[in-house]
Amino acid sequence: MASKIKKIGLLTAGGDCPGLNAVIRAATRAALNNGIEVIGYKFGYKGLYLNDFEELTKARVSGIQHLGGTILYSSNKDNLFEYDVEIDGKTVMKDVSDVAIKNMKKENVDALIIIGGDGTLTSARDFARKGVKVIGVPKTIDNDLAVTDVTFGFNSAINVARDALDRLHTTAESHHRIMILEVMGRNAGWIALHSGIAGSADVILIPEIPYDIKKIAARIKEREKRGKLFSIIAVAEGAIPVGGDVVVSKIVKDSPDPIRLGGIGNVLAIQLEDLIQKHEVRATILGHLQRGGSPSTFDRILATRYGVKAIELLLDKRYGNMVTINGDSMSYEHLENIIGRPKNVNPEGELVKTARSIGITFGD
| Cβ(168)–Cβ(237) below 8 Å | no
The answer to whether the CB of 259 falls within 8 A of the CB of 125 is no
Gap between the Cα atoms of 211 and 213, Å rounded? 6
The residue annotated as part of the active site, out of 110, 142, 144, 202, is 142
C-alpha to C-alpha distance for 63 and 82, rounded to whole angstroms: 36
Catalytic residue check, 254: no
Residues annotated catalytic, as ranges: 142
